[in-house]
């Protein structure tokens, strides 16, 4: 019999603050972490909105390493474990801000992973599957624990995308929201809204400690949630857009539910990938409708508030899901004011929604067709 996998520690740095509590409070308040970024304006780009971590200066050496380390340390501290006693599965982006300021090409992703990996004595892996990376780390960690190869593992990701290089690149792909005269930068990302025009760049880090339930109980750890299921798929369709029918996303979600042993009706909430792109939101909504039917579970996206932190987004959103399960509350989708009829779902609009649910699905559907989804169950010890 495979081991049950539970979550015992959380860490998060985002555009809404430097810990999970600040992240959660900001989401419930409908706050904007996305702001106008002066260095992007100075670069003369048509993309100036972004979700930055204000506590870290832009010129701080190894910013991505510091983001990852802080999130990892917080998760380990809450779990009551040392880095040397757990495995590590991590995802990271490239700290391209240092490319443009220093004129150097650096592999900051490797630097971040190596800085964390140096503290761990168990198996260590780095994953890079675009926007699905953070969720993929959680699924892979759960698999290792289920199989008995690990008792505990730190999983998550960190990313710093607020650079002119990234902004111009994603603008060329038509993926980010370009500036609109007279509109506040906070409104750049509008998931599932009829006026959506792309995502807002962001940075951040999310970290979670996963361990076998037996290991957690033996040492008296607080169980916040259980990782019940994991699914992954590949679109094999296009570098920059999903198939219009969302077939790859649908396969991914169905695999996660099958792995969890759940029927669609047993899922009470969905954390959508919800980036605010024209084609991505349409495909995701289509996939969710086919899996869950109508009206389906409540659906929310945090990217209107946080922006899109790529390699870190799935881990950050998993932290939000754990907090949502514990509070039995769903945060609203910030900036979703005019729902697109073609993205018809049970959207959480305007204010937090109190709910009674045991299971939440979190989706990450990445560029290049990489898809990952996890199913979490509410933990018995979550305050």
137: Cα within 13 Å, side-chain hemisphere: 37
- CATH fold group of domain 5-218: Peroxisomal Thiolase; Chain A, domain 1 (3.40.47)
Asked if the domains 5-218 and 229-378 are classified in one and the same CATH topology, the answer is yes
Running DSSP on this structure, what letter comes out for residue 329?
Answer: E
125 bridge partner residues: 89
Length of the chain: 383
Cα separation, 90 vs 206, whole angstroms = 10
Cis peptide, bond prior to residue 295, ω within 30 of zero: yes
Token reading at 175? 């993926």
pLDDT for 380 equals: 86
**CB count in 10 Å sphere of residue 357:** 17
Rounded Cα distance, 8 and 354, in Å? 24
Q: Output the six-digit token pair for 10.
A: 């959380």
pLDDT at position 102: 47
Closest to 77 (Cα-Cα) out of 209, 269, 177 = 209
Residue 54 backbone phi and psi in degrees, to 5: -65, -25
Please report, to the nearest 10 degrees, the dihedral formed by the alpha carbons of residues 335, 266, 280, 128 taken in order.
110
What local confidence, expressed as pLDDT, does residue 367 receive?
83
DSSP state of 6: E
Q: What is the structure's pLDDT at 60? A: 82
> Which tens digit of pLDDT belongs to each residue from 231-271?
999 988 887 888 999 999 999 999 999 999 999 999 999 99
Q: 253 with 236: CB under 8 angstroms?
A: no
- Ranges of each domain in the chain: 5-218, 229-378
Give the side-chain half-sphere CA count within 13 A for 167. 29
**Residue range 229-378 in CATH 3.60.15.10:** no
Residues recognised as catalytic: 131, 273, 308
Whole-number pLDDT of residue 107: 47
- Provide the greatest CA pair distance for the chain: 59
What pLDDT, on a 0 to 100 scale, did the predictor assign at position 94? 57
Contact 46, 370 (CB under 8 A): no
pLDDT at 96: 42
CA pair distance 28, 175, nearest whole angstrom: 27
Low-confidence spans in the chain with pLDDT less than 50: 96-109, 383
Q: Residue with structure tokens 């799935």? A: 314
């Amino acid at each position: 019999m495979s081991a049950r996998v539970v979550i015992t520690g959380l860490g998060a740095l985002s555009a809404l603050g430097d810990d999970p509590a600040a992240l959660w409070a900001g989401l419930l308040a409908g706050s904007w972490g996305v702001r106008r970024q002066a260095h992007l304006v100075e670069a003369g780009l048509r993309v100036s909105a972004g979700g930055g971590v204000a506590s870290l200066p832009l010129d701080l050496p190894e910013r991505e390493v510091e983001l990852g380390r802080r999130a990892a340390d917080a998760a380990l501290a809450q779990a009551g474990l040392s880095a040397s006693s757990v495995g590590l599965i991590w995802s990271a982006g490239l700290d391209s801000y240092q490319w443009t300021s220093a004129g150097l090409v650096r592999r900051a992703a490797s630097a971040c992973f190596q800085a964390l990996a140096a503290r761990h004595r168990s198996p260590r892996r780095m994953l890079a599957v675009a926007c699905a990376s953070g969720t993929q780390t959680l699924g892979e960690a759960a698999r290792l624990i289920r199989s008995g190869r690990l008792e505990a593992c730190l999983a998550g990701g960190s990313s710093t995308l607020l650079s002119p290089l990234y902004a111009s690149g994603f603008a060329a792909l038509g993926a980010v929201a370009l500036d609109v005269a007279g509109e506040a930068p906070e409104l750049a990302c509008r998931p599932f809204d009829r006026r959506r025009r792309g995502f807002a760049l962001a940075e951040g880090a999310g970290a979670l400690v996963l361990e076998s339930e037996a290991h957690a109980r033996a040492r008296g750890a607080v169980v916040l949630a259980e990782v019940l299921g994991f699914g992954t798929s590949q679109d094999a369709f296009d570098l920059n857009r999903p198939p219009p029918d969302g077939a790859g996303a649908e396969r991914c979600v169905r695999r996660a539910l099958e792995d969890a042993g759940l029927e669609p009706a047993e899922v009470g909430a969905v954390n959508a990938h919800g980036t605010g792109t024209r084609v991505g939101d349409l495909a995701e909504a289509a996939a969710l409708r086919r899996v869950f039917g109508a009206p389906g579970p409540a659906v929310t996206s945090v990217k209107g508030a946080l922006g899109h932190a790529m390699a870190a987004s799935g881990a950050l959103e998993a932290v939000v899901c754990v907090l949502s399960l514990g509070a039995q509350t769903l945060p609203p989708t910030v900036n979703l004011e005019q729902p697109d009829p073609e993205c018809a779902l049970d959207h959480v609009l305007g204010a937090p929604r109190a709910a009674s649910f045991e299971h939440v699905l979190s989706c990450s559907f990445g560029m290049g067709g990489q898809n990952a989804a996890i199913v979490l169950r509410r933990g018995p010890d979550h305050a």
